[in-house]
């Protein structure tokens, strides 16, 4: 039975054109299969891309002719087989042909496509961080961790948790499959075992470096986790003075009995200076006589197996400050003196809250406080006595008190005594002179015969004006029928038992050195009209 010829691969130098518009495919004559003893055609060079033949062509019967692709759509080359495609883009079956088959038509030559750049190989992540114990009892252990710092482009598939007993190297995988959470509980453990635990991150690049627990974990029931109950007074800065006794009691909880350790400013505590006494319920810090060097940040650590609690307290030992570094007299003028000083070199381990300034007369030498709780570094002292000399001193002050010593000025402020001539102030005398002026005028009146009537007006002026009354422009004078009065500027003229001849125009005239003023009114005297009956009775 003749053997089937090997498929012929295309040459990279020549390719078939996918489509041939406007040309009808021409059928090629069938090619007889070579005899069985003929060797298969040699394969083209290694760099040529092989063209796979459809299944129909590969399963053709022995000695059966295979139809060839259209001549216009085929590309012929030595040792190559024709391949065609229909106009609608569907692939046509390729026929196997012998090596000596001639191409029907020259094919279009194209450049081979470049192979795509392979992606970079995947790399493992970094190790999981902060692996710690979350819970433990006599049969299980729960651990937790944080995501690795470096994950990379490959992502993260999950974590695997492994453990081994202390003293062995046989690591047991606790997770049956990768876990995506950052917490895992290892179950079915034996009570009393001491286990090492590690966590490995897995991604397409492989396993990461393991993140391990710092210490092995004993598998046993923790009755009560460690908890420090720091008193409220110790949650803020605790202040004591130098020489005072310190006795601090910090209670805590935890079963079995926790292990207590202390640090000061990150270093082991000096038990010669600070005495620590621990019980099942509290830890006591005792200092017999506090000193400045006892100040600092104290850290208490409470530990039960793999569980730990920490608390910090700040201790500040203070004392009175030193005196200001220097003080000097800047200037003295009139009854004033200007001072200036610098802060103390030793503030007593506490902030400076103010200064106290005192003065002393050189004659008596007694000191008097002139400024207290003063916050500035310069001051002006006033109300000094003329002819005296003064010295000044300044104390620094903090929350404990004022400094034991002071800084004193080297210079002396002398208030010069100068002659002073008293010159009384000059006041300009006010001129009160004023010409007469009537403030209330006369009003026209009507009087009845036989009745007394009175005319009134008011006048002012300085000096006091002289008052005259006139009737019909004639001075009345000392006529006994008329009574003239003038009191406090009120002028009046009384007309006794007026008759019809007393009617007319009355004028009041006021005179002084500044001038004169007049005011007038009209007086009408009416006769009483009696009824007729009264007249007859009168006759």
Domains of the chain: 1-118 (no CATH), 129-218 (2.60.40.10), 224-318 (2.60.40.10), 327-414 (2.60.40.10), 434-526 (2.60.40.10)
The pTM assigned to this predicted structure is 0.45
Task: Check if the beta carbon of residue 144 is closer than 8 Å to that of residue 134.
Answer: yes
**Which DSSP state fits 246?**
E
Task: Check if the beta carbon of residue 189 is closer than 8 Å to that of residue 196.
Answer: no
Task: Check if the beta carbon of residue 93 is closer than 8 Å to that of residue 56.
Answer: yes
> Could you tell me which of 446, 469, 456 has the C-alpha nearest to residue 528?
446
Output phi, psi for 432, to 5 deg. -95, 0
* Per-residue tens of pLDDT for the chain, all 539 residues: 344 444 444 444 344 334 433 433 334 344 343 444 434 434 344 343 333 433 333 333 343 333 333 334 433 334 333 333 334 433 333 334 444 444 444 556 666 776 677 777 778 888 999 998 888 888 888 999 999 988 877 788 899 999 998 888 889 898 888 998 999 999 888 888 889 999 999 998 888 899 998 888 888 877 688 999 999 999 999 999 999 999 999 999 988 888 999 999 999 988 888 999 999 899 999 999 999 999 999 999 999 887 889 999 999 999 999 999 999 999 998 889 999 999 999 999 999 999 999 999 988 889 999 999 999 999 999 999 888 999 999 999 999 999 999 999 999 999 888 776 788 888 888 888 999 999 999 999 999 998 999 999 999 999 999 999 999 999 998 888 899 999 999 999 999 998 988 899 999 999 999 999 999 999 999 887 766 666 566 55
> Could you tell me which of 362, 370, 311 has the C-alpha nearest to residue 336?
370
| Measured distance CA(221)–CA(140) in Å, rounded | 9
What is the torsion angle, in degrees rounded to the nearest 10, for the CA atoms of residue 14, residue 17, residue 23 and residue 27? 60
3-state secondary structure 114-130: CCCCCCCCCCCCCCCEE
> Could you tell me which of 333, 321, 308 has the C-alpha nearest to residue 132?
308
Residues with Cβ within 8 Å of 533's Cβ and at least 6 positions away in sequence, in order, are none
Confidence (pLDDT) at 387: 86
Residues with Cβ within 8 Å of 442's Cβ and at least 6 positions away in sequence, in order, are 455, 456, 457, 506, 508, 519, 520, 521
Task: Check if the beta carbon of residue 409 is closer than 8 Å to that of residue 391.
Answer: yes
Confidence (pLDDT) at 96: 43
């Amino acid at each position: 039975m003749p053997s089937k010829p090997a498929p012929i691969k295309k040459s990279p130098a020549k390719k078939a054109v996918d489509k041939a518009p406007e040309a009808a495919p021409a059928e090629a004559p069938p090619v007889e299969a070579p005899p069985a003893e003929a060797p298969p055609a040699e394969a083209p060079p290694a760099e040529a891309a092989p063209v796979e033949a459809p299944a129909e062509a590969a399963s053709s019967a022995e000695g059966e002719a295979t139809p060839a692709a259209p001549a216009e759509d085929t590309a012929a080359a030595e040792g190559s087989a024709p391949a065609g495609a229909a106009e609608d883009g569907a692939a046509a079956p390729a026929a196997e042909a012998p090596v000596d088959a001639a191409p029907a038509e020259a094919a279009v030559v194209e450049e081979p496509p470049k192979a795509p750049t392979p992606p970079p190989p995947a790399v493992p992540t970094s190790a999981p961080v902060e692996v710690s114990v979350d819970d433990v009892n006599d049969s299980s252990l729960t651990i937790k961790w944080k995501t690795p710092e470096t994950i990379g482009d490959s992502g993260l598939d999950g974590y695997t948790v492994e453990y081994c007993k202390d003293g062995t190297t046989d690591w047991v995988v606790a997770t049956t499959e990768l876990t995506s959470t950052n917490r895992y509980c290892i179950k079915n453990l034996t009570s009393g075992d001491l286990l090492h635990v590690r966590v490995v991150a897995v991604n397409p690049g492989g396993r990461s470096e393991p993140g391990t627990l710092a210490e092995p974990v004993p598998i046993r029931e923790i009755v009560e986790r460690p908890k420090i109950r720091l008193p409220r007074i110790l949650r803020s800065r605790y202040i004591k003075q130098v020489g005072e006794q310190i006795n601090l009691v910090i209670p805590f909880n935890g079963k079995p009995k926790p292990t207590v350790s202390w640090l000061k400013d990150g270093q082991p505590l000096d038990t010669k200076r600070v005495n620590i006494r621990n019980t099942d319920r509290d830890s006591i810090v005792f200092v017999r006589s506090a000193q400045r060097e006892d100040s600092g940040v104290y850290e208490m650590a409470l530990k039960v197996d793999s569980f730990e609690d920490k608390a910090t307290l700040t201790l500040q030992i203070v004392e009175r400050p030193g005196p200001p570094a220097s003080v000097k007299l800047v200037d003295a003028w009139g009854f004033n003196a200007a001072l200036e000083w610098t802060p103390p070199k030793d503030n007593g381990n506490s902030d400076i809250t103010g200064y106290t300034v005192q003065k002393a007369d050189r004659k008596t030498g007694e000191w008097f406080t002139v400024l207290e709780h003063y916050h500035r570094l310069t001051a002006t002292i006033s109300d000094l006595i003329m002819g005296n000399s003064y010295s000044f001193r300044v104390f620094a002050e903090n929350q404990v008190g004022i400094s034991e010593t002071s800084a004193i000025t080297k210079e002396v402020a002398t208030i010069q005594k100068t002659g002073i001539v008293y010159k009384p102030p000059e006041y300009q005398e006010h001129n009160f002179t004023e010409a007469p002026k009537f403030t209330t005028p006369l009003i026209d009146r009507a009087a009845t015969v036989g009745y007394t009537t009175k005319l009134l007006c008011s006048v002012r002026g300085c000096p006091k004006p002289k008052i005259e009354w006139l009737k019909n422009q004639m001075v009345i004078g000392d006529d006994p029928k008329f009574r003239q009065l003038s009191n406090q500027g009120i002028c009046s003229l009384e007309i006794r038992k007026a008759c019809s001849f007393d009617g007319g125009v009355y004028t009041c005239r006021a005179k002084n050195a500044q001038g004169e003023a007049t005011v007038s009114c009209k007086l009408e005297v009416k006769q009483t009209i009696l009824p007729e009956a009264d007249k007859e009775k009168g006759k």
